[in-house]
Copies of this chain bind each other. A is one copy, B any other.
Amino acid sequence: MATPTDPDSTAATVDAINDMVRSEFPGSRNFCHELGPGYAISRLEASGGDLRPGGFISGPTQFGAADAALWFATFVGLGRMESMALTSELSIRFLRPAIGSVLYARADIDIVTRRSVVGTVRLWCDDEVDRPTATAQGTYAIPLPR
Contact = CB atoms under 8 A, between A and B. Distances in A.
Nearest to A61: B60
Number of this chain's copies in the complex? 4
Given A59-B87, A91-B90, A94-B87, A52 B64 contact: no
Contact of A91 (B49, B64, B91): B91
Contacts of A137: 91, 93, 120, 135-137
12 contacts: A27-B48, A27-B58, A60-B67, A88-B94, A89-B91, A89-B93, A89-B94, A91-B137, A93-B110, A95-B118, A96-B111, A136-B137
Interface of A: 24-25, 27, 48-53, 58-61, 63-64, 67, 86-96, 110-111, 113-116, 118, 120, 122, 132, 135-137, 139, 141, 144
